[in-house]
Amino acid sequence: MVAAPLPAVFPRADGPGGPWAGLDALRLRAALVPPPTRWGVRGLHTSRRRPDDSKVEKSLRSLKEHNKKMEDGGPVYSPSTEAGPARRTVSQWVADEVKHYYHGFRLLWIDTTIAGRMLWRVLNGQTLSRRERRQFLRTCADVFRLLPFLVFIIVPFMEFLLPVALKLFPNMLPSTFETKSKKEERLKKELRVKLEMAKFLQDTVEEIALRNKASKSSVTKEFSTFFQMIRDSGERPSNEQILRFSKLFEDELTLDNLTRPQLVALCRLLELQSIGTNNFLRFQLIMKLRTIRADDKLIAEEGVESLNVTEVQAACRVRGMRSLGVTEDRLREQLSQWLELHLKQQIPTSLLLLSRAMFLPDTLSPADQLKTTLQTLPEMVTREAELMAAEMELSKVDHKSKVESTLQEEAVIRQDNKEREMERLADAAQRTIRVLIVSWLVPQEGELLGDSSASNDMLRDSAPNLEGIKGEEITKEEIDLLSDACSKLKEQKRLLTLEKEELEELKDDVQEYNEDLEEMKKELSKTGQEEVVEESKASKRLAKRVDRMILRVGKIIGELEKDKEVLEKDKEVLDGQLEQGSSPPLGLFHTFRENLVSIDELIAVMKQIQNIPEHKLQSIAAALDDNKDGKIDIDDVIKVVELIDKEDIDISTNQVADIMVMLQKEEKLNEKEKAKEKAEKEQAAQISG
């Protein structure tokens, strides 16, 4: 598979008059390759877990690849061995220790300050963005890593004060509860908070899972040497090095640090809306990349040969590759190469798209394309990837580097929040101007009605309505309204399906984490390192707390389900009445429906909360009804709302519909992967037995 992306003479190759022809291609390439002097020093989800692998899984995969290459006798990258560090004098040793503890205490203070501020925001009902949650997770992990004994103090203290916190900070949870029983309301609030806390602590466990007692900073030196080779020295690193380090530049990490011209260029390449704030462009791209990843897995499962020519052309076009003016064999070849790099080599989608947006010539190999792409990335991305490389390889990262990374990330978060606040003010100003214009035009209505029919014909807009192409815009306030409506419907229906699903996902995460640890020990034993790498004390203690929380959450769900026994008896009475032909009691049908609701039900609840025009409510509901059967799954709607709400953006109804389809694809793929893993485990158990 030797296909390469677009040649320079065919900017998009969808026709010489396409949107990427001529000067536009040169401008796009200039946007993607800004001069070094203009690179900004910029840094880097929802409460629901991300689909990305944990650090333990990444470390395990890296270790397996290394051991497999060693067993097969293949090429394994090993940097040139240099003479060890010179022996330090007493004064140098003292100076190094002082610096180490100075930066350690400084890191502890900064992490504690940031974590405390973000915790205060959460307690007051504010939503953390993707970036803020990642920063919160990192700072909490650093605190527990530096002071493992705090697990015995902080976590039990939080659990003990949970009822007090719910009373002091009523905005922690939505205020749409309408349960008549105070006990039920208290249990549901406790369930929601404990479930979120358990998921966050499990993420923290995976963040600080392993500790290397004999770790050295060799990986960071290798990474620095690699980037010095591709940027300064002009040397060409090996293909193994390029592929190895390219895996570190994950999609969210890369997109969060691209400049605006680069974000706009990627949106144009993927034929997405290129007008909007940086946050909106990133959200569009992240959703598109998730869709591409799900489609890649489906195509790989069915095989490229199963696609017809039209489908192959569409797949290539979506991935920024030539789709017109090439042979069918060429189309299948470049799509197969994409799947090879993305799924087997684990190269992030964002890097593959950036390489295709740069209009590199056909003569470059895939490794050279990636090398050229890595040269264009901002400095902040490389620093974050360097830290990630050290954590994956279980190398020690000095406190000074962590302090610098945390401060840079905090500066970027403050800048993002400032931009969002300015956007809110601009939106408010636009709404005020719109209201003023409408109020001014209303008195003129009589004059307009008095005009002749001829003048009315002259003023009538004869242009076609293009609203269906882009879709109607959904504002942040309407997203909040939709969230409140879903919470209200869940309370009316006494639904716990989403909580049960999240609890099962959490149990699966814990089980996978324990299995990964066991596999890690087996792989380390092959190289004689099982005594060097061990599970950290903080992760062991946190894992025990998570197990206790899972048990408590299960008990709360059991208590809430007991309250439904009376309703189940009423359902039996209802069934008997239906058999006799009598009419059911009012409202009983509504209680025993599944978590599917009709569009009319959703619209009625939204009308109760806020007055919104009927056509707007219809368009929002229609966007959520993906199969057009008039029914909507509340849990799916909540997942979509969470994704959008964390980004604090306006979005169109068509984009909401695309997100619904993407989430359903991911869910089906996850079910298939779980079934496959279960079958493999059963087969392995039979063989071993």
Spans of all domains in the chain: 23-30+237-392, 58-75+99-215+399-422+496-552
Q: Are 670 and 676 in contact (CB under 8 A)?
A: no
What is the C-alpha to C-alpha distance for residues 647 and 45, in angstroms, rounded to an integer?
9
pLDDT score recorded for residue 291: 93
Percentage, residues of the chain above pLDDT 70: 75
- Which two structure tokens, joined as six digits, stand for 165? 């916190």
Q: Give the pLDDT confidence score for residue 314 in this predicted structure.
A: 92
Work out the average pLDDT over 330-354: 90
Mean pLDDT of 333-344: 91
pLDDT of residue 288: 93
Give the range among 289-298, 370-379, 646-655 with minimum mean pLDDT. Answer: 646-655
What local confidence, expressed as pLDDT, does residue 85 receive?
Answer: 52
Helix (DSSP H) and strand (DSSP E) numbers for the chain: 30, 6
Mean pLDDT of 135-141: 87
Mean pLDDT of 610-615: 76
Tokens of 611: 């007055």
pLDDT > 80? residue 81: no
Non-local CB neighbours of 190 within 8 Å, separated by 6+ positions: 162, 163, 166, 556
Neighbouring residues of 176: CB distance < 8 A, sequence distance ≥ 6: 484, 487, 488, 491
pLDDT value, residue 193 = 83
Residue 327 has pLDDT above 80, yes or no: yes
Identify which of 118-127, 140-149, 578-587, 654-663 has the greatest average pLDDT.
654-663
Q: How far apart are CA 689 and CA 684, in angstroms?
A: 8
Mean pLDDT, range 315-340, rounded to an integer: 89
Using alpha carbons, select from 564, 566, 585, 565 the residue that is nearest to residue 574: 585
Binned at pLDDT 50, 70 and 90, residue 59 comes out as: confident
β-bridge mates for residue 210, sequence order: 535
Q: What is the pLDDT of residue 170?
A: 57
Range from 212-216, 225-229, 562-566, 587-591 that averages highest in pLDDT: 225-229
Res 296: pLDDT: 93
pLDDT at 17: 36
pLDDT level of residue 419 (50, 70, 90 thresholds): confident
Dist CA 281 CA 27 (whole Å): 19
pLDDT recorded at residue 3 = 40
Q: Highest-confidence range of 356-370, 614-628, 663-677, by mean pLDDT?
A: 663-677
Name residues whose C-beta falls within 8 Å of residue 546's C-beta, 6 or more positions apart in sequence: 198, 201, 202, 205, 510
Give the pLDDT band of residue 167 (cuts 50, 70, 90): low
Angle between helices 55-72 and 497-526 (to 10 degrees): 30
Mean pLDDT of the chain: 75
Token reading at 5: 């992306």
- pLDDT score at 571: 52
Q: Identify the pLDDT of residue 308.
A: 92
Q: How confident is the model at residue 72 (pLDDT cuts 50, 70, 90)?
A: low
pLDDT of residue 253: 85
pLDDT tens for 15-44 read 333 333 333 443 444 444 443 333 332 233
CA atoms within 13 A on the CB side of 391: 22
The predicted pLDDT at position 594 comes to: 56
CA separation for the pair 575, 569 (Å, rounded): 10
> Is the sign of the CA dihedral 434, 440, 442, 444 positive or negative?
negative
Please give the pLDDT value at position 37: 34
The pTM of the whole model exceeds 0.95:
no
pLDDT at site 338: 92
pLDDT at 289: 93
Tell me the pLDDT band of 340, cut-offs 50, 70 and 90: very high
CA distances (Å), 603 to each of 179, 494, 600, 622, in order?
21, 19, 5, 11
